[in-house]
Structure 1
Amino acid sequence: MNKLWKKYKELPIQAKATICYTICNIMQRGISIITIPAYTRILTKEQYGTYSVFLSWIEIFEIIATFRLAWGGFVVGLTKYERERNAYCSSMQCLSITVTSIFLLLYLALSPVINACTGMNTMMTLLIFALLYAMPAIQFWTARRRVEYRYVSVLCVTAISSFLMPVLGVIAAWFSEDKATAVVGARVLVQGSIGLVLIWVNCHNNFTFYNKEFWKRALIFNLPLLPHYLSTVLLHSSDRIIIKQLVGTGAAGIYSVAYSASMAMQLFGTSISQSLQPWLFKKLKEKSYDGISNIMNLSLLLVAVLNLMLIILAPEAVSILAPKSYQEAIWIIPPLAASVVVMFFYQHFVNVEFFFEESRITSAASIGAALLNVGLNYWLIPKFGYLAAGYTTLASYSVFGVVHYIFMCLVCKKNNCPKTIFDIKIMLLIMAMFAGVTVAVAIGYTHLWLRLAVLAIILILLIVKRKVVVGALKQIMKGKRSKSSRL
């Protein structure tokens, strides 16, 4: 343990930050995973399905009523306004509050119509709006500290919220008859309290309510991205809403368990992608393209292996997450886990589009993929059942990835940036190998020996190639190309 601590202390700050934010992402995303075994046993299958659909509406409201100002565009702004970060953060926080307040007033004026569309009552929707004030504050604060590699405070806040939300949520669900409202109320209490404090933190240094340049740039950047963000949410959330409409809340509950298990792997991909994003932006800004492709290839391979482990252990994972009535969820995990790998694959292309502020082109791809997913769901679910939703999601994300690669090439050409910053041939080879093993494992779900054999092969390869694996991890953490380990 002392040796590990000594090695950790010797790591560069970028590597320490990467480790920290990986832990933070695991804790944040892990909340939903930790509570699944409790919720699937405290709530009926139909109640859990209703709660899962409700969570989908939270994501949709968040995009519409916050403009997601704290996302990629904010990180770009922190880079461009490095000497004005205090004023920039304050102004963005105030813009976010203003936008959410406008939509709250619109909701209050049109609540009967909106409630009829969502199927939620006024109390539940107001709880969502309370979250919409808190969530951007937390995101602004976290994003700035990620860029500045100030990771200790982020780890502390994340640990507190990650502990309190599941504990209070389970307690509230156990003792309340209206379990969905109770769980959301616990979440609002925790995130709302943290959000209030961080609103003050974001604003108190060089308080700036309105800055024409900051607001104009943020709105010009984010407004065209709203269809992209909304379409992305529809890609992974519309399945549950449509399954509830076409099949029922019970089927939506089963699908949600598979989705949650698959998305558990997304937290690794997200943490790696977020940690590499500032480094990639810096490399693009400096026009220093050496080493980018190798780092991205290694990170893609890592994410593919992690998701393959989940696919192999899907039956056991579902047994832990839910009772036997949810066992059908195992057949949905392979396509959804593959979707996570595809998401990580194309996120690198999206980051390039973000850096050059080509948000309109990003939105066009997102809208097309979302419409494709919704259309395929309404066409195939009635024919093949709700299990088809996993494959419609994978198909849509795959099309999404191809389109984003084409768009990235156009953006690179426009900005005199070589499209060869990514080695697409190696990336496609990794994806093809992953797809082949995934199909073999899924076919063999009824044969335990086959899954164990594949798992044993992977573990043996990891042990034999442990030096290469460690070297690859070091490359990803340092954001530097190593001569000793290449694909």
Structure 2
Amino acid sequence: MSIAKKLVGQTAAYGLSSIIGRTLNFLLFPLYLGIFAPEDYGVINGLYAYVGFFNILFAFGLETAFFRYANQPGADRQQLFNRVLSFIIFSSVLLTACILLFIDPISRAIKFPDQQLFISWLAIILAVDAIVNIPFARLRLENKAAKFAGIKMLNVLITVAANVFIYWFCYNVYQENFLVGLKPLISKIYFPEWKLGYIFLINLVANLLLIPLLWREFRSFKFSLDFAFMKPLLQYGYPIMLMGFAGIVNELLDRILLLELLPPGFYPDLTSKGALGVYGGCYKIATFMTLAIQAFRYAGEPFFFSQAKERNSAQTFALVTKWFVIVCAFIFLFISANLDDLKFLLRRPSYYQGMSVIPVLLLANLFLGVYYNLSTWFKLTDKTYYGTFISFGGAAITIILNIVLIPVLGYMGCAYATLACYFSMAAACYYFGQKHYPIPYPVATMAGYLALAIGLVYIAQHFVIEDFVWRHLFHLGLCGLYLIVLYIIEKPTFAVSR
């Protein structure tokens, strides 16, 4: 098997497991919204936003450091594995103990004073995540993509199956919607007052099951804590950890700031947690774009590296990016023009009021995808510190705009801040890229398709047709118009490709 085929095969395995996993988890979202009021869903979104930050802290950037030092000449990979994993176990136990010890002030500080049990479970989940991350890294180092993907997929399937069992089967039996005779049995394992808790408990159990699934990797492990040995690895991982924090700020801080900064009574029928629940629920629909971008990244990253030394690589990169924008602009148009048909995913009418954020978040994620495409230049030139600077710049924009906009616009302020952040990151990456690694991107053409899609979305949302059939024909016609314009403009390209 050639190196190229091996790389593509492994990328497909990693990518497929991730994309399928995210898709299956997305399918749980309508299930949750059918049971949870916005206030409850706000608790879930709020707590998991903090988990995103603590995941970075627990990892210390050591996964990347492990790869870096494992590939040095003469590296003793077993010793490296032992010492990195020993440090992660030590630090994770210490950090988790601190969270449990100070859980009262922590729960009050993050505005979840009544969720101490759930926070305790999340602290344990964080420790397990950090610990199993190193054996997973070892699987990647040893090119065991199939095992890596298989364990990840099994974990997702266990999580999804347990959620469906609790939140569909047990819930409906308990509510006497079917199989009423099983209610006495179900009542012994399903407790309505634990409605939120099962999400965290299932996550905890599924993560703990990763340990026996990775037992072959753990079996060779010997605890060997050596702080002197770890010092250069921590120095290497420290900037990566900071970059991770910046990325999480861009992705999740808006949820935390919405809880903190939303004025009381801003939404007459919602508390701040309820507003977060509405925002988080509607944000989920925007993940259609995220899934498309994720699929492209797994296929695109190895492609860019493999093409870098080709004579016409710059033109190839430009062409790929152009078509990326074309396809994502159509996804943005299609979803935004047909939002009424996606209400069934939100299940409860109380979530509908937040649907105006969806087109903005779709557009924001489109620009994030553009940034990933444009970031090829600093990866190929080993100037990855530009990625750190750009991420921190995006984080600053996120923080400032959320502080300014949330008190005025509520969760729409979060959406606009996200759009401004990712657009600015894409623009900065393009600007610096043209200085250090010029690529002839057809900016005017890409901007034209994007402007066309935005204009058609505006028409779809401001020309309301009440009749069901005519409304759908109108919206599909707008999508068809985009494709017709695309065909007319790109017809010469299609002819050449034949």
Q: How does 1:52-451 map to 2 (within 5 A)?
A: 52-70=45-63, 91-120=83-112, 121-136=115-130, 139-140=133-134, 150-172=144-166, 174=171, 175-176=190-191, 177-195=193-211, 197-198=213-214, 200-202=215-217, 204=219, 209=224, 215-216=230-231, 218-245=233-260, 246=262, 247=266, 248-278=272-302, 280=304, 290=313, 291-350=316-375, 353=378, 360-408=385-433, 412=436, 419-420=437-438, 422-423=439-440, 425-426=441-442, 429-445=445-461, 446-447=464-465, 448=471, 449-451=473-475
Percentage of matched positions with identical amino acids: 18
**1:119 is paired with a residue of what secondary structure?**
coil
Contact 1:93 1:136 in 2 (8 A): no
Structure 1 gaps of 5+ residues are 1-10, 413-418, 472-482
Q: 1:444/1:122 Cα in 2 relative to 1: closer, same or farther (>3 Å)?
A: same
What's the counterpart of residue 37 of structure 1? 30
CA deviations on 1:45-70 (whole Å, 9 max, x unpaired) are 21111211111111111112222433
Give the TM-score normalised by structure 2.
0.76
Rg larger in 1 or in 2?
2
Contact 1:353 1:408 in 2 (8 A): yes
**1:43 is paired with a residue of what secondary structure?**
coil
CA deviations on 1:179-207 (whole Å, 9 max, x unpaired) are 22221110111122114533x44455686
Q: How does 1:1-16 map to 2 (within 5 A)?
A: 12-16=5-9
Contact 2:29 2:345 in 1 (8 A): no
Q: 1:463/1:300 Cα in 2 relative to 1: closer, same or farther (>3 Å)?
A: closer
Give the TM-score normalised by structure 1.
0.77
Q: 1:405/1:323 Cα in 2 relative to 1: closer, same or farther (>3 Å)?
A: same
Distance 1:48 1:458 in 2: 36
Structure 2 gaps of 5+ residues are 172-189, 267-271, 466-470
What's the counterpart of residue 27 of structure 1? 20
Distance 1:85 1:280 in 2: 29
CA shift at 1:393, angstroms?
A: 1.0
Q: 1:158/1:310 Cα in 2 relative to 1: closer, same or farther (>3 Å)?
A: farther
2:236 maps to a residue whose letter is F
Contact 2:368 2:422 in 1 (8 A): yes
CA shift at 1:306, angstroms?
A: 3.7
CA deviations on 1:246-280 (whole Å, 9 max, x unpaired) are 15222211111221111232133123324443554
Distance 1:134 1:484 in 2: 54
Contact 1:130 1:192 in 2 (8 A): no
Distance 2:492 2:76 in 1: 42
CA shift at 1:370, angstroms?
A: 2.0
What's the counterpart of residue 51 of structure 1? 44
- When structure 1 is superposed on structure 2, of 28-37 and 335-344 the one drifting more is 28-37
CA shift at 1:240, angstroms?
A: 2.2
Q: 1:282/1:318 Cα in 2 relative to 1: closer, same or farther (>3 Å)?
A: same
Q: 1:181/1:352 Cα in 2 relative to 1: closer, same or farther (>3 Å)?
A: farther
Q: 1:258/1:439 Cα in 2 relative to 1: closer, same or farther (>3 Å)?
A: farther
Contact 2:19 2:291 in 1 (8 A): yes
Q: 1:205/1:59 Cα in 2 relative to 1: closer, same or farther (>3 Å)?
A: same
2:35 maps to a residue whose letter is I
Distance 1:112 1:363 in 2: 35
- When structure 1 is superposed on structure 2, of 105-114 and 207-216 the one drifting more is 207-216
Q: 1:190/1:427 Cα in 2 relative to 1: closer, same or farther (>3 Å)?
A: farther
Q: 1:74/1:264 Cα in 2 relative to 1: closer, same or farther (>3 Å)?
A: farther
Contact 2:96 2:124 in 1 (8 A): no
1:368 maps to a residue whose letter is G
2:403 maps to a residue whose letter is Y
Contact 2:61 2:238 in 1 (8 A): no
Q: 1:156/1:463 Cα in 2 relative to 1: closer, same or farther (>3 Å)?
A: farther
Q: 1:402/1:465 Cα in 2 relative to 1: closer, same or farther (>3 Å)?
A: closer
Contact 1:91 1:208 in 2 (8 A): yes
Distance 1:459 1:394 in 2: 25
What RMSD in Å do the two structures reach over aligned CA positions?
4.1
Distance 2:310 2:66 in 1: 21
2:296 maps to a residue whose letter is I
